[in-house]
Amino acid sequence: MNPGRARDQLASVLPDRERDLGPDHPDTLNTRLRLAAYTALAGDPAAARDLCAALVPDMERVLGADHAYTLDVRHWLARSTAAAGDPGAARDVLAALLSDRQRLSAEHPDILSIRSELATLTGRAGDPAGARDLFGALLRDRQRVLGPNHPDTLTLRSEVALYTGRAGDPAAARDMFQRLLRDLGPFHKDTLITRHQVAVFTGEAGDAAAARGLFAELVPRMERVFGADHRHTLAARRQLERFTGRAEDAAGADDPLAAPVQEWQGVLGTEDSSNPGAPQRADPARERDQLAALLRDWQRVLGPDHPDTLDTRLRLATSTAGAGDPAAAREQLAALLPDMERVLGVDHQQTLDTRLRLARSTAQAGDPAAARDMLVPLLPDVARVLSPDHHGTLTTRHELAINTGRAGDPAAARDMLAAQLLDMERVLGADARSTLTTRHWLARFTGEAGDQVAACDLFGALLPDMERTLGPDNPSTLTTRHWLAVSIGKAGDPAAAQDQFAALLRDSERVLGPEHPSTLARRKHLDDWARQAK
């Protein structure tokens, strides 16, 4: 039966059941359970979640906490909560359900599926290491019962490999997928998908050129087997474009952290894009144009509301900003946000990410005050959905502090960054690149707030850590030396600033080249401080 029609029929029957049988009759409660289930299947998980949440206490009161109907509605509550965009809450509901299922019967057939769902939700909630461990435990149990080559075992091996990579070990994930590929053989239905994952984690392990070659071979096979418009083919095309850009970056960039000294672009994120000198795409305009063409295919094949279509729109806007048009990116993101909220939900991580990127492009387009005002309500939403220590929360706090300073309140930005630094050191460690970034901005806004002597001290303490963790010739280390020299000059010692820039200019010419924008800027600073030192 059509889920929408079934939902409507159950909704029309429910008042009669409540009138004739009473609200607490088991048949009435079962009708409410089926209504919630078909509401979810009809595409309204938020409404289904609310129906389940209201039904659970009635089930527990009338039928008991361990009744099959009660356990079923709790399962639907977890599923609909996840589908409504809150995998963390869904994970917690499912973990409690699993505990009760195991207490009642360790051999219940639903336990394995619940364990698998719990592992998936753990990963979606931002804990890939936890998902890896849960899938690993489940894999060991399935191998013992079913053997190493059972289809369920092979699927679990793929999940363990996937979350191993997402937990920060792409080389191990690549090796796991390569072993799985050998066991599947050339004619298995999942062979091409596994080759896709081998290519992805080859690139994530640091060999973008090899990943590009693997995807260049894979895309034509995907087109032949699945068709040019199949989502697997389109996903492989997207990865080919992604690793082509990375391979060009690796060949052409000065350093993965290189950037002009005038500004540290970007913000703290999952890829540390705001660390001193985030890389620029080798050809961001081409990447933007490729994504625009891919978006047209996604819209035609999957429809405008498919999650992959929305994700491509998000990446297109990001590339548009990277290509030098943040105002256009801001308009793209402003148009995308209501679609994200409608399709995925206001608390979905991609919806929150869209809000963050909208604020970012607004700032890049020249309006840091408007960006700050967007970030103020975003921060509590991100902290509530992802947790206060999640990298997304730290990202949002960082952006809020930076835009507060750029909007004219460097003292407030300084205080916000000082508080954030304590959390960065606790969560990520003192030597994490993102922690170093926060220290840089703390020093910058300390100086802008009027205390250049303190800024000198902060930059002076930061520099040896940059040299130790990144190396003395890393462009980011050179950037730190640049701002230390500026602070020394502004603190009243132009002669020392002149000496600092003279030494820095020699290293900048050697490392970056004499015509690099950073080198040119440092040459100008040297001349300026030399005049002031006379």
Considering the domain architecture, whether residues 455 and 533 belong to the same structural domain is answered as yes
- Given a cut of 70, whether residue 272 has pLDDT beyond it is no
pLDDT of residue 282: 52
Higher pLDDT, 377 or 109: 377
Q: Does 53 reside within a domain?
A: no
The pair of structure tokens assigned to 290 is: 């490729």
SS3 of 354-385: HHHHHHHHHHHCCCHHHHHHHHHHHHHHHHHH
| d(C-alpha 139, C-alpha 310), whole Å | 33
The pair of structure tokens assigned to 197 is: 């994952």
Considering the domain architecture, whether residues 426 and 456 belong to the same structural domain is answered as no
Considering the domain architecture, whether residues 496 and 517 belong to the same structural domain is answered as yes
Q: Does 515 reside within a domain?
A: yes
Cα atoms in the 13 Å half-sphere on the side-chain side of 53: 11
- Average pLDDT on 57-80 reads 94
Considering the domain architecture, whether residues 517 and 463 belong to the same structural domain is answered as yes
How many whole angstroms from its chain centre is CA 523? 38
- Average pLDDT on 272-286 reads 49
179-193 residue pLDDT tens: 999 998 888 889 999
Q: Does 302 reside within a domain?
A: no
Q: Does 100 reside within a domain?
A: no
- Given a cut of 70, whether residue 363 has pLDDT beyond it is yes
pLDDT of residue 398: 94
Does the pTM exceed 0.85?
no
How many whole angstroms from its chain centre is CA 342? 20
- Average pLDDT on 115-121 reads 94
Considering the domain architecture, whether residues 468 and 520 belong to the same structural domain is answered as yes
124-148 residue pLDDT tens: 888 889 999 999 999 999 888 888 8
Q: Of 450, 466, 500, which residue is a domain's last?
A: 450
**201 with 174: CB under 8 angstroms?**
yes
pLDDT of residue 250: 53
**192 with 180: CB under 8 angstroms?**
no
- Nearest CA to 389 among 351, 434, 425, 427? 427
**332 with 347: CB under 8 angstroms?**
no
- In angstroms, the Cα distances linking 522 to 41, 216, 344 are 61, 42, 47
pLDDT of residue 248: 64
- Given a cut of 90, whether residue 168 has pLDDT beyond it is no
- In angstroms, the Cα distances linking 80 to 202, 264, 451, 455 are 35, 42, 53, 51
> DSSP readout, 409-461?
-HHHHHHHHHHHHHHHHHHT-TT-HHHHHHHHHHHHHHHHTT-HHHHHHHHHH
32-41, 251-260, 385-394: which has the highest mean pLDDT?
A: 32-41
Considering the domain architecture, whether residues 462 and 506 belong to the same structural domain is answered as yes
Considering the domain architecture, whether residues 429 and 471 belong to the same structural domain is answered as no
Range of the domain at 386: 367-450
Considering the domain architecture, whether residues 418 and 385 belong to the same structural domain is answered as yes
Residue 28 confidence class, pLDDT cut points 50, 70, 90:
very high
Supply the CATH number for residue 382's domain.
Answer: 1.25.40.10
289-298 residue pLDDT tens: 888 988 898 8
Considering the domain architecture, whether residues 456 and 445 belong to the same structural domain is answered as no
Considering the domain architecture, whether residues 422 and 439 belong to the same structural domain is answered as yes
- Positive or negative torsion for Cα 150, 154, 157, 159: negative
- Given a cut of 90, whether residue 442 has pLDDT beyond it is yes
Residue 249 confidence class, pLDDT cut points 50, 70, 90:
low
**255 with 475: CB under 8 angstroms?**
yes
- Given a cut of 90, whether residue 311 has pLDDT beyond it is no
Longest dimension (CA), the chain: 98
pLDDT of residue 277: 38
Q: Does 209 reside within a domain?
A: no
| d(C-alpha 340, C-alpha 336), whole Å | 6
Q: What share of the chain in percent tops pLDDT 90?
A: 67
Q: Does 486 reside within a domain?
A: yes
For the chain, what is the domain count? 2
**Range scoring the smallest mean pLDDT among 78-92, 234-248, 391-405, 454-468:** 234-248
- Given a cut of 80, whether residue 260 has pLDDT beyond it is no
Q: Does 137 reside within a domain?
A: no
pLDDT of residue 253: 39
pLDDT of residue 345: 85
Q: Of 390, 420, 450, which residue is a domain's last?
A: 450
pLDDT of residue 105: 83
Higher pLDDT, 187 or 112: 112
- Positive or negative torsion for Cα 91, 95, 97, 102: positive
Average pLDDT, the chain: 88
Considering the domain architecture, whether residues 384 and 462 belong to the same structural domain is answered as no
SS3 of 51-95: HHHHHHHHHHHHCCCCCHHHHHHHHHHHHHHHHCCCHHHHHHHHH
Report the phi/psi class of residue 277: left, alpha or beta, with left for phi > 0 and alpha for psi in -120 to 50.
left
Residue 262 confidence class, pLDDT cut points 50, 70, 90:
very low
Helix axes 307-322, 326-343, angle to 10 degrees: 160
Considering the domain architecture, whether residues 405 and 422 belong to the same structural domain is answered as yes
pLDDT of residue 289: 87
Say how many residues make up the chain.
Answer: 534
- Average pLDDT on 438-464 reads 95
Q: Of 450, 471, 505, which residue is a domain's last?
A: 450
Q: Does 389 reside within a domain?
A: yes
Tell me which DSSP letter residue 515 carries. Answer: T
